[in-house]
Amino acid sequence: MAYFRNLALFGAFIVGYFCPWASHLNWMIRWLIVGMMFMVMLQVRFSMRSIKWNHLYILLANVAVGMGGWGIFMLFGQRELAEVAFFTGITPTATAAPVIVGLLGERIDFAVSAFLATNFGMACLFPFLIPVAIGDPAPTVFFDVIKSLLIVVGIPLLLAIPVRKFYKNYRELPKKLKNVSFFAWVIAIFLIIANASQFLRGQQGSIDTHLLWKIALLSAAICFVNFYFGRFIGGRRYRREASQVLGQKNTTLTIFLALTYANPLVALGPTFYVIWHNAWNACQLQMRAVREKRKRLRAELLLRPHGGRH
């Protein structure tokens, strides 16, 4: 099953690239995420005790990577790459990150708290940071982000409350529908890649190929920094969870912001990031599947009687 999942994930990249027409179905992405988040909401209980210092450090890391990358490239007079670094690095935790944390067998409540802390925190900071990065005021950004968050978090939360109250076996529901959540994620990836394909085809001939490669490599470098240093932010207890929530980004949000307040070329930064962070997710799922298989084999060998010995 694990191999089939990874095949489906990589297939979403390939098929999405060759189906640019599917970009017209982009409206589905938000609702696919709502469905996945509903499953997440069934599995966690919210309390102030779930908010930890690690979550603040993850929020600060978002700001540091985004603004730090912007500052470095501005020093060298590379404004476009500076804006790419900003919109890619500043992106908060993805709505699907708790889903992947769950598939990896880690603590979902930590990931949900990180999602809420980084998205609401960045919603408050965006109106101040975006003008610095692009030199333009953006008074509507705060309300745009809050509106988006109310949909992708508020609706699943409101739906989960009555289910948790009136359905006794609600904790079993996410396990039963685990494959549904995964394939909803695969479809969302397919649609995001289809949208990127449509944009690239529309810009063909007007984009410098060397600049395109620079944007792709810069996006990959930011992805590596986030996943790698996230492990240190989480400490021993939340090492994998912190790596995931810092590395897996809500790119649909910053693609929208980059298109609105910068330009389509800058939006390629978070668009390429979709490929990098999901490719790493696929590798992690594969490595987990291999580890689980080895554990099962060891258990079977220990339980197997030693042939002929008494």
Q: What per-residue confidence (pLDDT) applies to 289?
A: 79
CATH classification of 2-300 is 1.20.1530.20, yes or no?
A: yes
10-residue averages of pLDDT along the chain (310 residues)? 68 86 84 80 66 88 96 94 96 84 83 85 85 74 70 82 81 74 81 78 70 92 95 88 92 79 83 86 81 78 63
- For 281, counting Cβ atoms within 10 Å of its Cβ (0-12 exposed, 13-18 middle, 19+ buried), the class is buried
d(CA 259, CA 265): 8
Q: What are phi and psi of 304, to 5 degrees?
A: -70, 130
Tell me phi and psi for residue 137, to 5 degrees: -70, 145
Map tokens 């060891």 to a residue: 298
Confidence (pLDDT) at 263 = 78
How many other β-carbons are positioned within 10 Å of the β-carbon of residue 266?
A: 28
| Residue linked to tokens 């965006």 | 126
* Residue that has been written with the tokens 């948790």 in this structure: 164
- The CB-based long-range contact list for 169-176 (8 Å cut-off, 24+ gap) reads 170/42, 171/42, 171/43, 173/39, 173/42, 174/39, 174/40, 174/42, 174/43, 174/102
Residue 145, pLDDT score: 62
Phi/psi of residue 166, each to 5°?
-105, -10
pLDDT at 138: 56
> What are the sequence ranges of the domains in the chain?
2-300
What is the structure's pLDDT at 279?
84
Tell me the pTM. Answer: 0.73
Determine the pLDDT at residue 137: 61
The pair phi, psi for residue 252, each rounded to 5°, is -60, -35
Q: Vertex 61, ends 59 and 66: CA angle to 5°?
A: 105
Alpha-carbon dihedral sign for residues 152, 154, 157, 163: negative
Contact criterion met (CB below 8 Å) for 71 and 83:
no
The pLDDT value recorded for residue 61 is: 95
